[in-house]
Each structure stands twice: as structure tokens, then as C-alpha cells.
């Protein structure tokens, strides 16, 4: 009788594995044509700047923040124009804040932080510093953050002035005889100037606590500006909130442009 010892199964030539020239060897499960395997891991595409992407097809992430800001801004604008319940509640709240006991001089100082002669020079100084750092480090498109922030700042009057004329909202009692208070131009100036400056400084900071502290400080500063404007009777609360929403969209676009076209050089550009 023949040998009946058990042996491991042997691969059969010409069946499941490739034996054509170019394979790593006969009987090995590697593709002979050099193409990527038809698996989710093998079919992944690299993300931007060499980061691992997702399984193809790669869907674009919907701009949820942008959509939410746009919907909220549209809702507030509709309520202000139509004289809805939000506008009535807003005017009651505005009168209560304006008649509150917060010191008037302190409120005036906070409101002045939204003036262009105060906020814009802060942004210009940060742009000069960030541009100098980027050029010194040889960053690809080192000029792009400054240009994007400058365009965002220029977009404030381009958006706010037509909206003021279109909505034509009367001001608080202390501003009788004037119209066009929605949205607040001083709030928008502060939000974009200080917000853009902080967003450009964040990549230069080391440590999560420093970045978080800078973000919190920027938020507190903008809230203080809005409170000062309402306390001094220069604007209604919804004028301030609408400007925050509008400028949130502007800053979101600025960050998206810098993140998409700035930073390190892609492999295709460096070839």
C-alpha cells in the first residue's frame, strides 16, 4: 500500500493563483498585473497632503456649519422683516438691557472695540506677522492666509450695507430718526477682524490649552462688543446675533480656502 501520511494541500497550477510573468512567484496570492486588489483597503485613495482617505467613492463632507448659519440667518431676517414674535421679544429684551444697571462708560468702551479704527489695525498687525512667519519658513503659498483674511474683511461692508438698506429696520429708542440697523456693522467688523486674526494665529501656537484660551478669549471679546452695543442702545440684540451668523459663514469660507489651497506643497506640485 502507498504512503497514507497527511500532507498540507498543495496549490494547483493554473487554478486560483497567477503564474504569468510579473508575479512574485508561483502559487503566491499576489496579482500579476501590478494593480491594486479589489478590496476596500486596497482601493483607498490618499487624502489631501498625504492623509489616508476613505473608501471610494469619496463623498464630500456637507458644510453643515455653513448650512445651519444660513438657515438661522434667514429665519431671523424673516422675523425682523415680518415683525414676528422673535422681533417683538427682541425689542423687549433690548429695552431691558439698555435700561439695566451696567455702567454706561464701560459699555461704551466695549462697543468701541467694534469700531473699524480699533479692530482693523489688530487684524493688519496679525496678517503682517503671519505673512512674515510663513515667508521665513518657506511655507507654500505663504501669502494666501493674508489675502484670504483681507478679502473676508472687505466682504463685511459689501454684505452688511446692502442688507441694512434692504431690511431697513428702525433702531432702538435712543436712535430714533435713523433706519438700517440690521445687521450690526460694528459687530460684523469685530467678529471678522478678531476672528480672522485668531484663526490665523492658531496654527502657530503649541499646546491645546493656549489654543483653547485664545478661542475663548475671542468669543468673550465679541460677546462683550455685542453687549456694549445693546447696552448703549445702538442696536437690538437680533442685529448682533445676525451679524455673528453672517460672519460665521464668511470665516468658514476663509478657513476652507486657506485649508484647500494653502499649506504644504502637494506631491504633484513638487514633482
Cβ atoms within 10 Å, residue 182:
26
pTM beyond 0.85, yes or no: no
Cα 242 from Cα 221, distance rounded (Å) = 17
Among 128-137, 169-178, 233-242, the range with the most confident prediction by mean pLDDT is: 233-242
Give the confidence band of 62 by pLDDT, cuts at 50, 70, 90.
low
Q: Comparing 46 with 196, which gets the higher pLDDT? A: 196
Among candidates 230, 232, 119, 252, which has minimal Cα distance to 184?
Answer: 230
- State the pLDDT at residue 41: 47
Q: Comparing 121 with 100, which gets the higher pLDDT? A: 121
Q: What is the mean pLDDT of residues 110-121?
A: 96
Computed on alpha carbons and rounded to an integer, the radius of gyration of the chain in Å comes to 29
Give the confidence band of 178 by pLDDT, cuts at 50, 70, 90.
confident
| Burial of residue 71, with CB atoms counted within 10 A of its CB: 0-12 exposed, 13-18 middle, 19 or more buried | exposed
Give the confidence band of 148 by pLDDT, cuts at 50, 70, 90.
very high
Amino acid at each position: 500500500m502507498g504512503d497514507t501520511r497527511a500532507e498540507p494541500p498543495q496549490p494547483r497550477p493554473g487554478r486560483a493563483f497567477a503564474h504569468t510573468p510579473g508575479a512574485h512567484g508561483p502559487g503566491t496570492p499576489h496579482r500579476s498585473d501590478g494593480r491594486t486588489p479589489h478590496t476596500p483597503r486596497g482601493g483607498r485613495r490618499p487624502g489631501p497632503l498625504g492623509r489616508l482617505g476613505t473608501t471610494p467613492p469619496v463623498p464630500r463632507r456637507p458644510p453643515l456649519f455653513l448650512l445651519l448659519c444660513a438657515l438661522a440667518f434667514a429665519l431671523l431676517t424673516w422675523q425682523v422683516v415680518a415683525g414676528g414674535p422673535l422681533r417683538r421679544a427682541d425689542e423687549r429684551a433690548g429695552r431691558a438691557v439698555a435700561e439695566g444697571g451696567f455702567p454706561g462708560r464701560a459699555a461704551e468702551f466695549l462697543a468701541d472695540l467694534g469700531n473699524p479704527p480699533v479692530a482693523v489695525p489688530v487684524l493688519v498687525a496679525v496678517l503682517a506677522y503671519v505673512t512674515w512667519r510663513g515667508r521665513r519658513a518657506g511655507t507654500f503659498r505663504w501669502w494666501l492666509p493674508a489675502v484670504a483674511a483681507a478679502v473676508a474683511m472687505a466682504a463685511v461692508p459689501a454684505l452688511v450695507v446692502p442688507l441694512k438698506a434692504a431690511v431697513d429696520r428702525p433702531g432702538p429708542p435712543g436712535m430714533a430718526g435713523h433706519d438700517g440697523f440690521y445687521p450690526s456693522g460694528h459687530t460684523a467688523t469685530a467678529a471678522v477682524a478678531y476672528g480672522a486674526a485668531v484663526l490665523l494665529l492658531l496654527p502657530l501656537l503649541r499646546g491645546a490649552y493656549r489654543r483653547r484660551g485664545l478661542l475663548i478669549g475671542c468669543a468673550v471679546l465679541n460677546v462683550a462688543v455685542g453687549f456694549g452695543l445693546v447696552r448703549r442702545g445702538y442696536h437690538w440684540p437680533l442685529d448682533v446675533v445676525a451679524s455673528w451668523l453672517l460672519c460665521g459663514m464668511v470665516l468658514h469660507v476663509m478657513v476652507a480656502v486657506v485649508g484647500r489651497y494653502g499649506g504644504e506643497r502637494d506631491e504633484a506640485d513638487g514633482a
